[in-house]
Amino acid sequence: MTTLLLTHPACLNHLTPAGHPERPDRLRAIERALEQEKFQDLARVEAPLAELDTIALCHPMKYVIALRDATPKDNLVQLDADTSMSPGSFEAALRAAGGAVFAVDEVIAGKARNAFVAARPPGHHTETARPMGFCLFNNAAIAARYAQKRYGIDHVAIVDFDVHHGNGSQNIFWADRTVMYGSTHQMPLYPGTGAKSECGEHDTIVNAPLRPGNAGEHFREAIESVILPRLRDFAPELLVISAGFDAHMRDPLANLNLVEADFAWATRKLMEVAEKSAESRVVSVLEGGYDLAALANSVAAHVATLMQG
């Protein structure tokens, strides 16, 4: 078994306004980084389209249809101040969700040890019926719920190290005792959620906010002392990573000072938990990361660690 990489050229066709940080060049930078010789053993598959019924496991079908119908024939349409759609956006969003779902299939079937989904638009800000923060469908949440519905998995954990709090994932699973959502993130910062006191109805929401200017040692302490103990107690049978790399010191949208080695360390720590309770099953989906060099190098460190599994 090896690590599976899922992506699709259609994800380049989700266009955003000039100067927007969430742009197609993000995937191009990742693609170049993963062309290095050390990644030659990656299994590579094009992300399939998600079925609308699968997306409706997390988002009401009325929302899914409304988003499809909002897709413009040309130019861009703004959904909110940060989030837009172009003619190619709906297919890109279906590929991003479909890649996450197919990754679940392959990992649970034992055809891949773990998987990384390099797709866009990202997902973790999408609430049950609200697109926001560059996100249209919540890919990590869909993967978690699909694993439960399709394979009868009881406990799934989502761990999110994007610099922005995944308000959408928290919203979707707030009242769910079967899914743990754990997040490190800068606070205060968009979208304003993610306080330690936000625990969900069954104490399965675990937030470990970091302060502006914090660096790798603070991030590692938050993972070690807050996220990992709760994750071990929860004992997930599948671990989904919301892999955002915008906590990197070069990123323009935040003020944390992580480097590539911090993401590799966190990946290894999460894999160790998955080895004990989840048969090493890890599905990682791309979230943020807006400095192209930092994103490419951080993804390379993350994927190289997954391959060591």
Q: What is the CATH number of the domain that holds 244?
A: 3.40.800.20
Q: What is the per-residue pLDDT across 254-309, written as a single tens digit (0 to 9) for each?
A: 999 999 999 999 999 999 999 999 999 999 999 999 999 999 999 999 999 999 98
Number of domains in the chain: 1
Q: What is the pTM of this model?
A: 0.98
Q: Put the strands of the sheet holding 43-46 in their side by side order.
A: 43-46, 3-7, 114-117, 282-286, 238-243, 156-160, 179-186, 205-210
Q: What is the pLDDT of residue 210?
A: 98
* pLDDT beneath 50, residues of the chain: none
CA distance 158 to 102: 17
Query: What does the pLDDT read at residue 195?
Result: 98
Residue 102: domain span: 3-307
List, for residues 197-229, the tens digit of each pLDDT value: 999 999 999 999 999 999 999 999 999 999 999
3-state SS assignment for residue 160: strand
What was the pLDDT predicted at 225? Answer: 98
CB distance 14 to 24 below 8 Å: yes
User: What is the distance of C-alpha 88 from the center of its chain?
Assistant: 21
Q: Which residues are catalytic?
A: 125
Q: How far is CA 135 from CA 71, 112, 168, 267, 286, in A?
A: 14, 27, 9, 23, 12
